[in-house]
Structure 1
C-alpha cells in the first residue's frame, strides 16, 4: 500500500511539473510581442559548405551586406519604402558578394534574390518574437548552398544585435506542441508507472 502511495505521489508530481511548465510558457509569452511576418524584411545567407573558409566568407558577406542595407533603411519609416529601397539596390548587393569572393580568391557561383516566400525559424530579439514562417527577404546562396546559414532582420534593422554571437543564436525551427501531445505525454507517464507497478507486484 505504501509503495502504491509513493507511485501516485510521483505521478502527481510529474503532472504538476508539466502544468507548471505550461503556465511558465504562457507567462513568458505575455512579456513578448509577436511580430507579424508581413511587417519585416529579412536576410538569409546560405554558405557553400561548412568548411572554415566557406563559413568565414559567409560571415564577411553578412557583415558587408548588413552594414550597407542598414544605411539604406536607417531613415526609412514604412515597410513599402524599405522594399522599394532594397529592390532598387540589388545590384550593389551582388557587387558586395563578388568583391568578397574576389578577396578570398574563390571562383564560386552565387545567387542574390529578393523573394517573398523565404522560410525562417522562430527568433527572439529582445522582447520581439519573429515567429517561424515565410518572410520577404534578401536570399544569398553561395555555391551549392549546403553549409550552415545565417539570418537576421533587415527592416527594421536588427542584424547588429546578433553580430557578436550569431552562430550560437541560430535556433532550430520547432513545431508548435498542441494540447493532444501534452495529453498523450501525461498518459504515457501514467502507463509507465503502472507498468512498473505490475512488474514489481503483479
Structure 2
C-alpha cells in the first residue's frame, strides 16, 4: 500500500473521529442544561404580591432582590440543613426590617408579614420536571392581601441564582414580571389559597389574533392538501444508496 492510500485512510479516520467527538459534545451540553431537582432537605423563599398590578409586581421583585441577597449572605457557606434552618429562623427580624425598608424607600404604605415554617406550595411544571404540591420548609413573605402572582426559589442549598430560561437572577417558578408581558402564570392553587389570574383586555386581543392566525394556517394547509402537485414524476427510478467510505476503502484495498 503506497503512502497516498495510507494518507487517504488516515483522513477518513480523522473525519469519523471528528463526528464522534461532535456528537459526544452535544450530549454533554444537553446533560449540563438538564433541570436540577430540588433536594428533600431544602429551604425555599416564597413571596406573594398584593395583586397582579404592575406596581405590586414591581414591589414584589424589589423585595425579592433585597431579601434574597440578604439570606444568601447567611447560608452561602452552610452545608447542614438543620444549621441553615436555625440561622434563617434567628434572622427573621432582620428580614422583616428589610421588607419594611423596601416599602419605605418606595413610599408605599402596605402591610406585610414574614413567616418561617411549613408553607403550602402549588404544583409547578418547569421544563420536563414536575415539582409536586405540598408543604415545604420556607420563608413566606406576604405583601398586602397576598392575592397577586407568587414567586419562589430555593434558598438552601443556594439555587436562587440559577435560571434555565434567561439570565436574570431568579430560579424556578417565575419569569421576571414585565408590564408588557402578556403571558399568564398558571399553577394549581395551594391548599387554602384562593388564587385567580385575570386576563386583561390586551391579553384577550392577543389571544383573538392568535386564533385568527391559526385558522388562516389551517385554511392554507387544506388548500395545499387538495391541490395536485405539478411536480409528479411519471417514471421514478429506484434510489440506489451507496456508502462512499466503504467503496473508497474497497478501491484502495483490493
Task: Return the TM-score normalized by structure 1.
Answer: 0.62
Is the contact between residue 121 and residue 131 of structure 1 (CA under 8 Å) also seen in structure 2? yes
Aligned length: 144
In structure 1, what is the Cα distance between the partners aligned to 2:119 and 2:150? Answer: 16
Q: Which has the higher contact order (CA 8 A, sep 6+)?
A: 1
Structure 1 spans left out of the alignment, 5+ residues = 1-27, 175-202
In the TM superposition, residue 168 of structure 1 has moved relative to its aligned partner by: 2.8
Cα-to-partner distance string for 1:21-47 (whole Å, 9 max, x where unaligned): xxxxxxx9xx767545x4110010000
In the TM superposition, residue 164 of structure 1 has moved relative to its aligned partner by: 1.3
**Higher share in strand:** 1
Secondary structure in 1 aligned to 2:93? helix
Q: Which residue of 1 aligns with 2:111?
A: 109
Is the contact between residue 41 and residue 154 of structure 1 (CA under 8 Å) also seen in structure 2? yes
In structure 1, what is the Cα distance between the partners aligned to 2:106 and 2:50? Answer: 13
Task: Return the TM-score normalized by structure 2.
Answer: 0.50
In structure 1, what is the Cα distance between the partners aligned to 2:160 and 2:43? Answer: 11
Higher-Rg structure is: 2
Aligned pair in 2 of structure 1 residues 113, 132: CA closer, same or farther (>3 Å)?
same
In structure 2, what is the Cα distance between the partners aligned to 1:81 and 1:123? Answer: 30
Query: What are the within-5 Å matches in structure 2 for residues 42-57 of structure 1?
Result: 42-57=44-59
Runs of 4 or more off by more than 2 Å in structure 1?
Answer: 31-36, 120-125, 127-133, 165-174
**Higher share in helix:** 1
Aligned pair in 2 of structure 1 residues 165, 82: CA closer, same or farther (>3 Å)?
closer
Structure 2 spans left out of the alignment, 5+ residues = 1-30, 177-183, 189-254
Alpha-carbon RMSD across the aligned residues, in angstroms, is: 3.0
Aligned pair in 2 of structure 1 residues 34, 94: CA closer, same or farther (>3 Å)?
same
Cα-to-partner distance string for 1:122-153 (whole Å, 9 max, x where unaligned): 3659x987443221100000001111111000
